[in-house]
Structures are given as C-alpha cells and as structure tokens.
Structure 1
Amino acid sequence: MACVLSDSIEIVGICEDFPNNCQGAFTQLKVPEIVEIPEQKPDIEQIIQVLVEGIVTNLKLIQTPVGDSVEGEYLTGEKLVIEGKVHQKIVYVAKTEEGDQPVHSAEFDIPFSTFIVVPDCYIGTVKPGKEDDINVQVCIEDVFIEEINPREVIKSSLLFINAIFPPEQIAPTLALDVEPTSAAPGDNIIIRVDVADNCLLDRIEIDIIDEDDNLVDNYGQSLQGENSAEVTHIWDTAILDPGEYTVEATVYDCAGNETFSTETVTLT
C-alpha cells in the first residue's frame, strides 16, 4: 500500500502494484460520496490523512443472454456480481473554542456494487454457491477528497477490481509431430499438435514460414475451456517452391501463457 499526498492530505492505501495475474476479468469503478462528521466529533479545521481500503462482502454469479450490445459490450452468458464497501478513516485537526487543535478521526463504510463479465474461458468453472472460490482483489487507484464545510467532506475513490477464476493456470506442454519432414512440392504434410497439462486452453495457431520469413500458410483453432487437445492440420504444398520451411505451433491458455514448438520441413 502506498502513501501519497493530495493537496497536503496524506492518502494511505493507494495500490502500488496491480494484480499480476489478470485473466481479463476486471472492471473499474468510481465510488463518489459525501460523508458527515459524527455528531459527537468536533468540527474540521484541516484534514491531514485518509486511510482507505476496498473490501469485498459478497459475490454472486448470474446468468445473462449471450451476444453483443449496441454499446459494443460482449456478453458471454455469465456475470460475476461483486458487492463490497470502501472502508476509510479520515484523520483531521479539530476546530475547537479552546484553539488547542487536537487530532480526531472519523470512520466510514461506503457500499458499492458492480459486475464483471465472465470471460469465455471461465464459463462454468465455478458453480453458483461456490463464488468464494473466485479470488477478487480490490485495488484503490486514486482518491479525491475535499472539505465542503466543517461538518461535511466530499470524497471519490477510483477502484480497480480484478477476479481470478480457479484453478491456477499451469503453462501448457506441447508436442509437435510433422510427417513427412522431407517431401516434394505438391505433397500433403500432416501436422499434429498435442497439448496437455493445462487447466484452461484458449486457442492454437499453426504458422508455416518460408526461408524469407514470409507466412505461406496458417491454421487456427479455438480451444476455449478445454484442458487438453489434439489438433491435426493438412498442409497442402502444391503451389510452393522447393526449399526449407518452418512449421511453428503456438498454444495459448486463458491466463495469457503461451508455449510453442517448431519443426523444419524440406521440399525438394
């Protein structure tokens, strides 16, 4: 947690590092508020510090339609509803008749509710009622605070909310088999790719590259939600010249990991 100064007010709780495991399931939310100093507390003369923390109080998976909205948002069929609160303590120098300037504090909880569209890769990985298996992190990006009068404060917190769906991702293993590795132009080359040891796969790409680094063939296949896969591609070499070609297979998982393997094919 970082401490920053905003117009001579120390803000404690600003996020120093964003979550390093972003699966694409995140949202940003502004929480504006006007808070009133409790009656038993003295008036504000000067705010000196704000301590702020985002706390998740409830998670709920709900079903939605699938499709694109007119605003351009894609709905996958599931949303994660996130309820929480911004807990904060405002520390201030009090304005008193005695003029002794004692330091007081007041604590507030401001509720918030938002949602995250569950990415395709994670649809169905958590069942309703098991939402606690999802690791939701609340990061305070920025805080604005200003005294309206000696009894009221206007404040706005900017939140970055990230959801990590289980299980933890393991980088996939990939086995590439090309037959034959020596052929004549016009022959078909069989490319087989086996992917294993992963939790959730996204897609696979097979690229064929010539000696001048030109892409001469490409094949892609979605693997969303699979734990392992066997992919076969028939490469037609009919229009190619003799020479060496590189077959590169790359598999991507839902956490952003990628693994690749290459094989050389000679056309004679």
Structure 2
Amino acid sequence: MNYTVQNMLPQVSKYFKEVSLCEILEIDPQKPDIENILDVLVWPEIENISVVETIKGTSYEGQKLSGIKLVVNVKLKEKVIYTADNKIQSVHAAHFEELKSVFIIVPEFINGRNIHELVKFNQINIMPYIESVYKRKLNSRSIHKCVLLILDAKIFC
C-alpha cells in the first residue's frame, strides 16, 4: 500500500535529490509473527552534510556534473505497526533505523559564495520529505519496504 504526502512537498526546489530506499525488514525473534501490516511510519533525520569534489561533465542521460556534491547522511527511523498472527490478533510495533548517504549535485559557487564556506558556516539546510512509502508482507517475519525520499537543499546567504 502507498501513502503520499505530496501536499507537503516543496513547491520550487533548485538543489535536490530524489531517491528510492528499499530494504527487507526482519521482525525481531521476540515479536510475534505478522498477519497484516497496518502502517509503516518513517521519520527522516539529517545526521550531517559534507562536500565532495568529483568529476565535471555531462552524463549520457543529460545530467550535468559540476564537480561538487553535497553528501547528506540521513537516518530513517521507522516503525512498522502490524497485527499478530495469533488468536487475539494483538497489535505490535517493530522499530528500525537505517543510515544512508545521498548526494546532491550543486555548483561550486552559489550567490557568489563558495559551497565549502556555506557548509562550514551552516548556511545550507537540508529538508527531508517522504514522498511515499510502499510496504508488502513477504512472509510471517519479513517485510519489503521502499521509501521515496526527497532531500531539498535550502541556501541561506
């Protein structure tokens, strides 16, 4: 099942990355088996931002590489709410954390300021948005989950 929060997405974004983060989640052995997944809640948290210098050029797909990327480490805190596969069908929650690194291509200078300075002086704020969450029960202990995440870099200078 999908759920979207499109009404909360940014209207305009100049520097951003959209990424799909998929994984198989295994329920802890202490928890009962899954009968039905009720919901998957996801809270993204930005851990840190760094600058990486890379190649300049244009890819076959037309993506222009400026030679500079922001590397954003984002932690996804997740809660899977499900009914147990037992007679009373009790409701349980399983908690997970996932750390991912995502890059955003940016120019070397923004509004005349070097990107390294902007990061150093905390003048870049990364806003995470969950565009959608897909979940599917694979078996009584496993869930396939995909989060479509948008990281929007806001520049303050």
1:16 match: 7
**Structure 1 131/80 Cα, relative in aligned 2: closer, same or farther at 3 Å?**
farther
Give a deviation string over 1:169-213, Cα, whole Å, max 9, x none: xxxxxxxxxxxxxxxxxxxxxxxxxxxxxxxxxxxxxxxxxxxxx
2:107–2:115 contact (8 Å) kept in structure 1: no
2:131 match: 141
Task: Give the unaligned 5+ runs of structure 2.
Answer: none
Letter in 2 for 1:17: M
Q: Distance in 2 between matches of 1:137 and 1:28?
A: 12
Letter in 1 for 2:23: E
2:118–2:124 contact (8 Å) kept in structure 1: no
**Structure 1 86/140 Cα, relative in aligned 2: closer, same or farther at 3 Å?**
same
Letter in 2 for 1:111: L
Is the aligned partner of 1:109 residue 2:97? Answer: yes
State the shift of 1:44 in Å: 0.8
**Structure 1 33/104 Cα, relative in aligned 2: closer, same or farther at 3 Å?**
same
**Structure 1 88/15 Cα, relative in aligned 2: closer, same or farther at 3 Å?**
farther
The 5 A counterparts of 1:201-240 are: none
Greater RCO (Cα-Cα under 8 Å, separation 6 or more): 2
Q: Distance in 1 between matches of 2:93 and 2:99?
A: 20
When Rg is computed on C-alpha atoms for both structures, the one with the higher figure is 1
1:118 match: 106
Q: Distance in 1 between matches of 2:96 and 2:114?
A: 37
1:126–1:165 contact (8 Å) kept in structure 2: no
Give a deviation string over 1:232-267, Cα, whole Å, max 9, x none: xxxxxxxxxxxxxxxxxxxxxxxxxxxxxxxxxxxx
Q: Which of 20, 43, 47 is residue 30 of structure 1 equivalent to? A: 20
Letter in 1 for 2:35: E
Give a deviation string over 1:128-168, Cα, whole Å, max 9, x none: 8617431101111111100011111001111111101222x
Q: Which of 25, 42, 50 is residue 52 of structure 1 equivalent to? A: 42
Report which stretch shifted further, 27-36 or 60-69: 60-69
TM (norm. structure 2) is 0.86
Report which stretch shifted further, 119-128 or 36-45: 119-128
Aligned residues: percent identity? 34
Letter in 2 for 1:149: N
Aligned-partner SS, 2:62: coil
**Structure 1 146/131 Cα, relative in aligned 2: closer, same or farther at 3 Å?**
farther
For these two proteins, the number of residue pairs brought into alignment is: 155
TM (norm. structure 1) is 0.53
Aligned-partner SS, 1:78: strand
Q: Which of 79, 89, 105 is residue 89 of structure 1 equivalent to? A: 79
Query: RMSD value over aligned CA atoms?
Result: 2.2
Is the aligned partner of 1:166 residue 2:125? Answer: no
